[in-house]
């Protein structure tokens, strides 16, 4: 249309021009004034060219202004629609179109009229002038800060994102610049820092290690592909550039944590709004500046920008690697035994409860086996703590090898271990497995354990048949273990008969009360013989219970029950009085003046007036204190060493002897001989039984006797059953012996006969 107009105007001008030329030519021909003709022709051409040119220029100006106006109209709309400060400008610096946000920010007139682009554009970019080079730089810059200060003195730091959008006919390039007010970001950052700090404070476990400076901040604006990491975060993660894209972040996530990350991204896409009211949290590993993957706790919250209405997510990133490592270590420690590296009691309980649940839900059957290394305390005492640990580790290895599929092994305390085995339909499976463990344990008797008899005992129960919970099944396996304790290498299955014996305990306790009142208790006497002379030098008072049903119940059954109640005091008092009375009676009958030994349990010993009580027993029965000896076990000293020493000293000052009973069954036995005022050491029968099989035990017995002798403490060996044992003890210099080889515990009448016989043999 426009082109047609130009063409028709040009055509008309040329037609007019041709007519004028023809007219001039005719006129000139008639008047023959050629020079004037030429002049006229030239002149008219010049006028025509001028008109034509003018028409062209006018037209061109009109149409390009129109087009520019139209283009600018749509750009103006675009700019106005942007929420961020934005402007449209050109490198001729003749026009600038700003949106409301920028006009408000720069405090320029609302309409934008009277704005001189030549000054305003450079000013917005913090310059006085804008050279071509500077413009190129502005276009290239992605995250450079530019500042300007308004009339009212407010300074604005901006990041401008500028793109060339078109070049018009005049070669003028138009630019669209979108700004980011850093004050906005900083305000948000400070808000975020603030709530990061509050978050950190509310999380006690982060408090200690976390200084504010360790918090990195990340801003994400809805719909914006760029995220804004704080400077701290950039250094933490080794990021370059002020922005980062989602893909950049994803590339840094630890491969195993990508699922967590992707889920999070998906959640944010769909439910960003949820985080306006709640704080989200995420823990994952991110590749960091040091080239390592580190654990970060990412906490985030969304806010809605008041200006644009858009959601912005602000998140704090905290390096929690040390805490994570600590947590993992704690978790390991919580379920793992430090010495052997196999699970500990907690680990066993956790697994056991789960498996019990399996037996209930899936009908599976398991065996629970409790194991105990026989006389482990001896090994610990004699081979040293480190070697003891080595044995525990060796034992743990042995256990691991015996685990079938789904089996589980743990160290539950000291030398107590447990196994859980899946049932294979073989009732003898536990006994077979324990048998294998015992054989493999025996092979460990090398190095520091050379010549040692290494054995273990076991008790086992079936799960779920033998208990209502894993705890109960384990308890019963342990009960079966303890019931067979006297025999080394015993393997006992829990039976309901054992269970019945627990049930009858309360019945027994009641009956025992009656027994004390109804004189069903009787003191038996077991002779103590001097190895030197072969004469009876003492008797040990050992209590017996004549049950109304005719059974003679041994003290090993009822003393532990009595010890749990006040009954033990009455029993001990009875034994003490009876023993003193009998000894005095034997003296009066002209029998040898023997020393009577009375056993006392720790409950008795910790009585306020134990010494007074013992002295009263002596006085009442008219017995001299040198004829009485109290047998105490070293375990009592473990309770309260100071009180023990005080009480013992009182007894000693009253002239009463004190024997350390069961020497060698507890810990640190040797140190107790030195520390506590004992007059006698009574070597436990387990030493004597094993003396001839175990070279080390033989050595212990020998050195204990030697130490006691040099300290002026008497020595007695209990449980002597053979001639060979007696021979060894004699060779070691042991003072006295007691055991079935000489005489069993017997009623007073028999003991009296025994003494008379002994007197006869030795010609007294």
Alpha carbons 716 and 561: distance in angstroms, whole number: 28
Tell me which stretch binds ligand C2E (CB under 6 A): 229-237, 296-304, 607-615, 733-741: 733-741
* Neighbouring-strand partners of residue 174: 90, 166
Phi-psi label, residue 56: left if phi above 0, alpha if psi -120 to 50, beta otherwise? alpha
Residues 548-607 that bind Ca ion (CB under 5 A): 599
Residue 512 CB, nearest approach to ligand C2E (Å): 13
Q: How big is the site for ligand C2E, counted in residues (CB under 6 A)?
A: 25
Q: Are 29 and 22 in contact (CB under 8 A)?
A: no
Alpha carbons 380 and 388: distance in angstroms, whole number: 5
585/746 with CB nearer ligand C2E: 746
106/490 with CB nearer ligand C2E: 490
Chain centroid to Cα 13, Å, comes to 98
Q: Binder to ligand C2E among 543, 623, 717, 737 (CB under 6 A)?
A: 543
740 binds, options ligand C2E, Ca ion, none, Cβ within 5 to 8 A by partner type: ligand C2E
Residue 615 CB, nearest approach to Ca ion (Å): 21
Q: Are 661 and 633 in contact (CB under 8 A)?
A: yes
323/662 with CB nearer Ca ion: 662
Residues 613-652 that bind ligand C2E (CB under 6 A): 631
101/601 with CB nearer ligand C2E: 601
Place of tokens 């047609």: 4
542/708 with CB nearer ligand C2E: 542
Beta strands in 154-288 (DSSP E): 155-167, 173-181, 215-221, 226-229, 244-245, 280-287
Nearest to 144 by CA among 126, 129, 130: 126
Write out the two tokens for 561: 């029950």
Residues 630-649 that bind Ca ion (CB under 5 A): 631
Residues 6+ apart with CB under 8 A from 496: none
* Binding pattern for the stretch 500-529 against ligand C2E, x by CB under 6 A and - elsewhere: --------------------------x---
- DSSP 8-state secondary structure symbol assigned to residue 483: H
Q: How big is the site for Ca ion, counted in residues (CB under 5 A)?
A: 4
200/543 with CB nearer ligand C2E: 543
Write out the two tokens for 50: 């001028």
243/602 with CB nearer ligand C2E: 602
719 binds, options ligand C2E, Ca ion, none, Cβ within 5 to 8 A by partner type: ligand C2E
Q: Binder to ligand C2E among 179, 315, 664, 745 (CB under 6 A)?
A: 745
559 binds, options Ca ion, ligand C2E, none, Cβ within 5 to 8 A by partner type: ligand C2E
84/736 with CB nearer ligand C2E: 736
* Binding pattern for the stretch 549-568 against ligand C2E, x by CB under 6 A and - elsewhere: -----xxx--x---------
Alpha carbons 524 and 540: distance in angstroms, whole number: 8
Tell me if residue 598 falls in helix, strand or coil.
strand
Phi-psi label, residue 297: left if phi above 0, alpha if psi -120 to 50, beta otherwise? beta
Residue 661 binds Ca ion, judged by CB under 5 A: yes
Residue 601 CB, nearest approach to ligand C2E (Å): 4
Q: Are 173 and 91 in contact (CB under 8 A)?
A: yes
Tell me which stretch binds ligand C2E (CB under 6 A): 253-261, 306-314, 570-578, 609-617: 570-578
- Taking CA atoms, 563 is separated from 342, 410, 479, 499, 673, in Å, by 36, 32, 19, 20, 25
Residue 525 CB, nearest approach to ligand C2E (Å): 10
Beta strands in 242-365 (DSSP E): 244-245, 280-287, 293-304, 311-319
Burial class of residue 462 in the structure, from the number of CB atoms within 10 Å of its CB (0-12 exposed, 13-18 middle, 19+ buried)? buried
287 binds, options Ca ion, ligand C2E, none, Cβ within 5 to 8 A by partner type: none
Alpha carbons 697 and 703: distance in angstroms, whole number: 10
Write out the two tokens for 669: 């036995």
Residue 666 binds ligand C2E, judged by CB under 6 A: no
Residue 721 CB, nearest approach to Ca ion (Å): 14
Taking CA 257 as the corner, what is the angle to CA 254 and CA 263, rounded to the nearest 5 degrees? 135
Residue 337 binds ligand C2E, judged by CB under 6 A: no
Alpha carbons 423 and 461: distance in angstroms, whole number: 11
Q: Binder to ligand C2E among 522, 721, 750, 752 (CB under 6 A)?
A: 721
Instruction: List strands edge to edge, sheet with 244-245.
Output: 244-245, 226-229, 215-221, 311-319, 293-304, 280-287
Residue 716 CB, nearest approach to ligand C2E (Å): 11
Residue 729 CB, nearest approach to ligand C2E (Å): 13
Residue 572 binds ligand C2E, judged by CB under 6 A: yes
Tell me which stretch binds ligand C2E (CB under 6 A): 39-47, 316-324, 378-386, 597-605: 597-605
Residue 599 binds ligand C2E, judged by CB under 6 A: yes
Nearest to 130 by CA among 103, 98, 162, 86: 162
Residue 682 CB, nearest approach to Ca ion (Å): 6
Strand-pair category, 680-683 with 714-717? parallel
359 binds, options Ca ion, ligand C2E, none, Cβ within 5 to 8 A by partner type: none
Residue 662 binds Ca ion, judged by CB under 5 A: yes
Question: Binding residues for Ca ion, per CB under 5 A?
Answer: 599, 631, 661-662
Question: Binding residues for ligand C2E, per CB under 6 A?
Answer: 526, 542-543, 554-556, 559, 571-572, 575, 599-601, 631, 661-662, 685, 718-721, 738-740, 745
């Amino acid at each position: 249309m426009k082109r047609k107009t130009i063409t028709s105007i040009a055509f008309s001008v040329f037609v007019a021009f041709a007519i004028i030329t023809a007219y001039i030519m005719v006129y000139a021909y008639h008047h023959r004034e050629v020079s004037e003709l030429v002049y006229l022709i030239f002149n008219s051409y010049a006028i025509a060219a001028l008109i034509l040119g003018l028409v062209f220029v006018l037209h061109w100006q009109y149409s390009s202004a129109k087009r520019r106006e139209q283009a600018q109209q749509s750009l103006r709309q675009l700019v106005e629609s942007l929420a961020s400060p934005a402007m449209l400008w050109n490198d001729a610096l003749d026009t600038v179109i700003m949106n409301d946000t920028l006009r408000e920010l720069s405090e320029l007139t609302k309409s934008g009229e009277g704005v001189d682009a030549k000054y305003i554009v450079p000013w917005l970019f913090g310059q006085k002038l804008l050279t071509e080079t500077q413009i190129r730089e502005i276009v290239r810059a992605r995250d450079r800060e530019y500042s300007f200060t308004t009339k009212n003195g407010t300074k604005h730091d901006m990041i401008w994102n500028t793109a060339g959008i078109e070049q018009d006919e005049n070669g003028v390039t138009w630019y669209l610049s979108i700004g980011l007010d850093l004050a906005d970001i900083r305000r948000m950052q400070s808000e975020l820092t603030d709530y990061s700090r509050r978050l950190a404070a509310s999380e006690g476990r982060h408090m200690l290690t976390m200084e504010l400076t360790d918090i990195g901040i990340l801003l994400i604006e809805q719909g914006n592909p760029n995220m804004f990491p704080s400077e701290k975060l950039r250094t933490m993660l080794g990021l370059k550039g002020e922005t980062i894209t989602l893909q950049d972040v994803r590339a840094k996530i630890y491969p195993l944590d990508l699922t967590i990350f992707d889920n999070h991204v998906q959640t944010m896409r769909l439910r960003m709004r949820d985080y306006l009211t709640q704080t989200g949290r995420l823990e994952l590993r991110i590749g960091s500046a040091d080239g390592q993957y580190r654990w970060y706790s990412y906490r985030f919250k969304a806010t809605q920008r008041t200006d644009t209405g858009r959601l912005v997510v602000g998140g704090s990133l905290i390096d929690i690697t040390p805490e994570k490592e600590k947590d993992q270590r704690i978790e390991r420690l919580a379920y793992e035994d430090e010495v052997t590296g196999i699970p500990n009691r907690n680990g066993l309980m956790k697994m056991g409860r789960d498996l019990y649940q399996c037996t209930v839900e899936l009908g599976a059957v398991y065996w629970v086996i409790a194991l105990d290394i026989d006389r482990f305390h001896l090994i610990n005492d004699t081979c040293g703590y480190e070697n003891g640990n080595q044995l525990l580790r060796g034992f743990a290895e042995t256990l691991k090898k015996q685990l079938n599929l789904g089996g589980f092994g743990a160290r539950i305390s000291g030398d107590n271990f447990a196994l859980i085995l899946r049932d294979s339909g073989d009732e003898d499976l536990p006994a077979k497995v324990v048998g294998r463990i015992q054989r493999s344990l025996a092979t460990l008797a090398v190095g520091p354990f050379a010549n040692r008899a290494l054995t273990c005992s076991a008790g086992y129960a079936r799960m779920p048949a033998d208990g209502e919970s894993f705890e109960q099944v384990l308890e019963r396996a342990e009960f079966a273990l303890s019931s067979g304790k006297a025999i080394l290498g015993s393997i006992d299955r829990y039976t309901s008969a054992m269970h019945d014996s627990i049930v009858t305990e309360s019945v027994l306790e009641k009956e025992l009360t009656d027994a004390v009142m109804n004189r069903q208790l009787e003191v038996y006497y077991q002779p103590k013989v001097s190895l030197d002379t072969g004469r009876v030098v003492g008797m040990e008072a050992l209590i017996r219970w004549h049950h109304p049903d005719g059974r003679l119940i041994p003290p090993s059954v009822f003393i532990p029950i009595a010890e749990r109640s006040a009954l033990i005091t009455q029993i001990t008092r009875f034994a003490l009085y009876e023993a003193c009375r009998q000894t005095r009676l034997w003296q009066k009958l002209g029998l040898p003046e023997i020393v009577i030994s009375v056993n006392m349990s720790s409950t008795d010993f910790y009585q306020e007036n134990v010494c007074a009580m013992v002295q009263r027993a002596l006085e009442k029965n008219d017995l001299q204190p040198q004829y009485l000896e109290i047998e105490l076990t070293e375990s009592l000293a473990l309770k309260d060493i100071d009180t023990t020493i005080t009480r013992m000293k009182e007894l000693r000052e009253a002239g009463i002897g004190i024997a350390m009973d069961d020497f060698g069954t507890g810990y640190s036995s040797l140190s107790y001989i030195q520390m506590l005022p004992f007059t006698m050491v009574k070597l436990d029968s387990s030493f004597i039984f094993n003396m001839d099989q175990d070279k080390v035990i033989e050595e212990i017995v020998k050195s204990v006797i030697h130490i006691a002798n040099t300290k002026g403490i008497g020595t007695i060996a209990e449980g002597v059953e053979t001639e060979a044992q007696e021979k060894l003890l004699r060779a070691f210099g042991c003072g006295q012996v007691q055991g079935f080889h000489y005489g069993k515990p017997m009623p007073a009448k028999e003991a009296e006969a025994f003494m008379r016989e002994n007197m006869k043999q030795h010609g007294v």
